[in-house]
Amino acid sequence: MKATGVVVEYNPFHNGHFYHLQETKKATGADCIIAVMSGNFLQRGEPALLSKWKRTKMALLGGADLVIELPYSFATSHAPRFAFGSIFLLQSLGAESFCFGSESGDAELFNKTHDSVNAQQETYQEHVRSFMNKGLSYPSAASRAYESLDIPLALDLSKPNNILGFEYVRASRELGSHIRPVTIKRKNADYHDVMLGRGNIASATAIRETIFKGDVKQAAPYMPHYTLEMLAEERVEKGTLMHWERFFPLLRYQLLSTSPHEINRYYEVEEGLEYRMIEAMKRSDSFETFMKHLKTKRYTWTRLQRACLHVLNKVQKDEMLAILDSSPSYIRVLGMTGNGRDYLSTVKKSLDLPLVTTVSKHDFAGLKMEAKTSLVYAQGAARDILRAEKEEFNTPPIMVN
């Protein structure tokens, strides 16, 4: 069987994601689509609207055959590590290609851009560091660094999906992988669009904004019926969809009851940020006001949210770096279709990494971090903690026929 991979968050799954999966099958001719999906916390430093289990079911109903969890350490890291962890897992599962959405829509431009940057790698990295030291975010610094190189511009690296696609290609090259990059041009909506547009495809950002305003009816045409059904289920089960405000009391307690020295030990809390976080919290009565007090030109909103996630989850630098300094050490299956199960049966004996279907049977550091952060997610959802713990440790992969 021929497999291709996609890297996803599905927060929530919408028509654009469905389009991407259908076009991925057409472009690659794959028999099996493997989705590497973030868990309960996401790369932009946010809690997922819905649990990873419901998002897994959405993915399977939408066209994915096999859903693998991207560990917390990679899922909540900056773009290069996020991309590396994702591509490593797809390579480990024997995917022949990976397909991503981009503003470019031309995979050859990504290959050419990688070759050009790689030829001046040392200069490129120096430029990145220089621009970041001037207060630019990593995406902005990477774009400016690329523009500073004495090479023709093949790809617009100011666009968010182009940047991430470039990191996927770079990760596959660093791994010495034969996995082939394929890209689908994004349709109708830009990544950061906050308004619903024409047609039936909108950005996840715009859909979330509309949902949080209480206008699910307006967002409905942009999502499959099963997404709407699971959003409704989640509201009934938890009273609300997950967002940062649900976790604000927990974050506030963490920051105001912990010494600055201890806060500085959490991942991504650097350069005195701990003092700014404490002072900002003293003046805030919501997560949004807290972020507005905290925001500076030096740090992007996303970068600060990720720091907040690590404080919330009490993830220290040493334990995070111990995982990030190596490759993912296991493959955790969240769900599969019959087709995905057939694919796993064909590659299972040749896998270099252990296959995890039940967490309680394994002792990996990444799984321990996953268990800890899942309990924090359950607190924000006001759920029975024992039930949440049992769900994390003992839930078998979701099956969708």
Q: Where is the binding site, in residues?
A: 7-20, 101, 161, 186
pLDDT of residue 198: 65
**If you average pLDDT over residues 259-267, what whole number do you get?**
97
Non-local (6+) Cβ contacts of 145 within 8 A are: 124, 125, 127, 128, 130, 131
Residue 92 clears pLDDT 60, i.e. is over it: yes
pLDDT band for position 222 (50/70/90)?
Answer: very high
pLDDT of residue 142: 77
Query: How far from 304 is each of 206, 244, 263, 268, CA to CA, in Å?
Result: 21, 13, 14, 8
Residue 310 clears pLDDT 80, i.e. is over it: yes
pLDDT band for position 316 (50/70/90)?
Answer: very high
118-132, 177-191, 223-237, 321-335: least confident range: 177-191
Distance CA 126, CA 19 (A): 39
Q: Is omega for the bond preceding 12 within 30 degrees of 0, making it cis?
A: yes
**If you average pLDDT over residues 207-225, what whole number do you get?**
89
pLDDT band for position 153 (50/70/90)?
Answer: low
pLDDT band for position 177 (50/70/90)?
Answer: confident
Higher-confidence position of 39 and 176: 39
pLDDT of residue 385: 78
Q: Where is the binding site for ATP, in residues?
A: 7-20, 101, 161, 186
**If you average pLDDT over residues 148-163, what whole number do you get?**
79
Residue 195 clears pLDDT 70, i.e. is over it: no
What architecture does CATH give domain 3-103+159-189+328-400? 3-Layer(aba) Sandwich (3.40)
Q: Alpha helix locations (H) across 93-219?
A: 107-119, 121-133, 138-148, 160-174, 204-212, 216-219
CATH 3.40.50.620 residue ranges of the chain are 3-103+159-189+328-400
pLDDT band for position 194 (50/70/90)?
Answer: low
Distance CA 336, CA 345 (A): 12
pLDDT of residue 197: 62
β-bridge pairing 97-102 and 3-8: parallel
